[in-house]
Structure 1
Amino acid sequence: MATIPHSLGKDEAMRRLKSGLGSASSSVPILRIDEETWADNRLTFRLTALGQTAEGTADVEDDSVRIEVVLPWFLQKVAEMVQTTIASRTQILLEKK
């Protein structure tokens, strides 16, 4: 689980995440977002990394995004790298431009 702070407000953070997830996948070759579904401020997603599938959620709040990913056994071994990658891509999407 990772919590990423932001100062954008919930609506702007959601807008950036919705518009930027596809490009985030293309910039990280080992990570592909296969499915994303939004319900209110919660994103449910399925991703593939290193040939393994994982699922997770991202809850967007007024001042933070909380990301939780459930990894299969193989990916648990590289969890730190995957979590860092997801967190850094989310941080880039939330940075003020």
Structure 2
Amino acid sequence: MTEPIAIDIPHKLGRDGARTRIEQGTGRLAEFIPGGMITEQRWEEDTLHLAVEALGQRVVSRIAVEEARVHAEFDLPPMLALFAEKIRAKLTRDVPKLLE
């Protein structure tokens, strides 16, 4: 198993505001994998557990909402791990848009 991609996103929305924005934008996370669709989505307290699948690949993520930041981790399957740096760059650029 490869190292998960981890990113921290600062925000000024407070825990509830950030959680609401994430809930409203969750469907956009599937766009990170071409043809991807969300196959699992559940909240455990303030952490969203999410799985996106496409073309036999499954990306599992955990998105922890805190008062002033969101910490997100994405577990990549071996096939996608080859592109980890490109995926990290896209996530770092696009995931903060969920909080806008």
- How far apart in 1 are the matches of 2:70 and 2:8? 6
Q: Which of 28, 34, 38 is 1:33 aligned to? A: 38
- How far apart in 2 are the matches of 1:88 and 1:63? 18
Which structure 2 segments of 5+ residues have no match? 1-5
SS in 2 for 1:62: coil
- How far apart in 2 are the matches of 1:51 and 1:80? 21
Which structure 1 segments of 5+ residues have no match? none
User: Given the two structures, how large is their TM-score scaled by the length of structure 2?
Assistant: 0.78
- How many residues are aligned here? 94
Offset, 1:61: 0.3
Q: How well do the aligned residues superpose, as a CA RMSD in angstroms?
A: 2.0
Percent identical pairs in the alignment equals: 32
Offset, 1:90: 2.5
Q: Specify whether residues 35 and 89 from structure 1 end up closer, same or farther in structure 2 by C-alpha distance, changes over 3 A only.
A: farther
- Superposed CA deviations along residues 11-67 of structure 1, whole A, max 9, x for unmatched, are 0000010011114435x5614332211111000111125541121201000111101
